[in-house]
Every structure is written in C-alpha cells, then in structure tokens.
Amino acid sequence: MPTRRCAPSSRQYSLRTIDVYWQSQAERQQSLLDELWRLADVFEAAGIEFVLLKGLYFAERYYGGIENRFSWDLDVLVRCSEAASADRVLRSSGYFRRSAVVLSRSLTSNFTHAFDYGNERPRFSVDLHWLLSRHPSFRVDEDAIWKHREDTSLYGRRFSVLSPEYEVVSNALSTFRDIQRGAIRLRALVDLYKVLELEDARIDWNAFFDKRQEERIAGIAVNVLALLFELLECEKRFPGAAGLLDRSRERLVSLPGGDAETLFAPGRAALANRAWTSNIYECSRARVAVWWLVSLPFRMAVYKSGRRYANLKRRVHVLKRRLRGEENLPAAAGRRPMP
C-alpha cells in the first residue's frame, strides 16, 4: 500500500519563507559591507574624514550582528566644509548623485542635510550627510559631534562613529522628521530603544539636557523619549533618560487626540503630525510654516525624485563610463567576510 504523504503545513511554509528572507538579508548585508570598504577607500584616498551613521555598524553594536538589522543603504557624515569636496570625490569615483537639485548643489544643500548617491549596481546607495538634520531653529554643534566621536572596529577595520550622546540625538532627530512627514515606523523607536539599552548608564543626562537646550532641540529630544516610553512601556528600564523626562515635563506637547498611535495612522495623520511637531520647534509656528514652504521645492527634489529618475541617472552614468572606456567598479580588498 503506498505511503500517504502529508502536505506541508502553513507553519512549515512560514518558516521556509523566513529562512529564505533571512538568507537574502545576509547576502545583502555582505554586499553592503563590500561597498562600505570601497567607500572608505575612496574617502581615505581623498583625505576626507567621515562618521558612520546607523547601518552596518549600528547593527553590529546595538543588535549584536550586522545580519540582525536590515540596511538599505550606507549613511556617512562629513564635515559641512567638506561636503562639496565629498560630492566631487564620489562622482569622480564611480558614483552619481541620485538626488535631484534645484538650480545647483550648493543652493539645494542650504535646505537639506543629505544627498543620495548610487553607482552602476542598482541595489546600492550612499547617503552623504553634512548635518544630522536641517531646520532654521536648530543649532546642533558640529564641532562637538566631531570632537566626541568614537572609534570602533568593524571586521578588523577602524571607523569613526557617533558618541552615545549624539547617537541619541541622531535617532531623536530622525524619528522626529519621520513623524513630521507622516512616515513614522515603529522600527525608528526600536532603534532608539536599542541605543538606550546600551548607553543609558553612560550618558550624563543633566549635561545632555543642557547641551540640547544650547542646540535648541531639547523639546524634540524630550518629546521623542516620551513617545518611546509610552509606546514601548519601557521607562523603568532606562532610569537616566526617565529622570531627564521627569525634570523637563514642561517641554512635553500633548499628542494629537491624546494618543501616540495617532502619529502612525496613514493618510490624514500627516497633517496632525505637522501640527504637533510645529509646536515642538523652538521658534514660532509662522516661521515653521515659512521655512516649510520655502524649502519644499528643494526637499522634494532631493527626497522625492523617485525610482524612475534614479534608474534614468544610472543608465546615463553607465553609458558615460562605457564611452570613456572605464572599467567596472573595483572590488574592495582586505575585508574579512561575514561569518
């Protein structure tokens, strides 16, 4: 009598799907690691210092391995004074600027904090930052970022990274931007949670708050931390940050509808989000509105240029390289492979 074969269960299919997805993630992270090595070679050859933002280092330090947090691109920070040089170096080294600009790079950079770059490999992009965020009310101390940066080793190579204090600042500003444009995801708060998990005891939170007041972003830091504590119910896990919140309750702005989940609602939530964030900036709502309108064409050009525009620029970029007789991008050398 033939043996009856049972159909695979939905659980087996689910596990198989997860395995396949994890494997694709691991392969992508390996490729990003290759690209990071090549990018580091390019900047080092040009004598341009840079700081890693999130991405592979962030996954290694705060998630326990680069395969444990998916990354879409590479984010690096250069000094404002070297942003134009970094742009030229990238574009002369096989990269092209995927972000559109209005009239000129220098004019557009006055209204944004980063440009997106690609190369002939469609899956890769580099975000070149010269600021952590851009707003006329901000006074984020660039000198302090570079003075207090730390060194870390990633697969045997040394990289500069943000100090614990500015890891919190960077995540808070990034989360705040996402809330403002109605694109916040829980992952942003999980990232901040993972930073606090490792850094809460290392940070002098009194000094942290004083510095944020100087930089005019204390309200942003306090309200983002409050949002984290409310949604993830983790205030008791981080006594340092929780103490900061207790001492600065007057900085808190009531959430739209009194519910944090409102900020995550699609569609119409974007308007409520903008209204909420406009009350947190340390300037008048009128000035926030004027800045938003003036900067909108530049921000749209940089951040909304779209996939079709990027693909067109990539085709033009590849064609130009072929016409010049340039070879494919060189592979990075000397990198330790992922386990």
- For the domain spanning 31-136+297-325, the CATH number is 3.30.460
Neighbours of 17 (CB within 10 A): 10
Q: Over its length of 339 residues, how does the chain's per-residue pLDDT go in tens digits?
A: 455 555 555 555 577 777 777 677 777 788 889 899 999 999 999 999 999 999 999 999 999 988 888 888 899 999 999 999 999 999 988 888 988 899 999 999 999 999 999 887 656 789 999 999 999 999 999 999 999 999 999 999 999 999 999 999 999 999 999 999 888 889 999 999 999 999 999 999 999 999 999 999 999 999 999 999 999 999 999 999 999 999 999 999 998 878 888 888 766 557 888 889 999 999 999 999 999 999 999 998 887 765 555 566 556 655 666 666 665 555 554 445 555
Residues with Cβ within 8 Å of 233's Cβ and at least 6 positions away in sequence, in order, are: none
H-helix segments, the chain: 10-46, 55-62, 83-91, 105-109, 142-147, 164-180, 186-199, 205-215, 218-232, 239-247, 269-278, 285-303, 306-323
Q: What's the pLDDT score for residue 183?
A: 85
Contact 123, 116 (CB under 8 A): no
pLDDT of residue 17: 79
Going by their DSSP bridges, the two strands 96-97 and 157-161 should be labelled as unpaired
pLDDT, residue 304, reads 72
Buried b (16+ CB within 10 A) or exposed e, 248-286: beebeeebbeeebeebbbeeebbebbbebbbebbbeeee
Tally of CB atoms within 10 A around 11: 8
CB 78 within 8 A of CB 95: no
DSSP 8-state code for residue 339: -
Greatest alpha-carbon pair distance for the chain in Å reads 82
Of 314, 310, 311, nearest to 329 by C-alpha is 314
Q: List beta partners, residue 154.
A: 157
What number of other Cβ atoms are within 10 A of residue 18's Cβ? 10
Give the sign of the dihedral formed by CA 268, CA 232, CA 61, CA 246.
Answer: positive
How much is the pLDDT for 10? Answer: 56
The CA distance from 329 to 331, in Å, is 6
Strand 74-77 versus strand 125-129 pairing type: parallel
CB 253 within 8 A of CB 287: no
Instruction: Name 220's Cβ contacts closer than 8 Å, sequence gap at least 6.
Output: 172, 173, 176, 212, 280, 281
User: To which H or E segment does residue 76 belong?
Assistant: strand 74-77
Which pLDDT does position 334 carry in this prediction? 46
Query: CATH 3.30.460 residue ranges in the chain?
Result: 31-136+297-325
167-205 CB burial, b ≥16 within 10 A, e <16 = bbbbbbbbbbbbbbebebeeebbbbbbbbbeebbeebeb
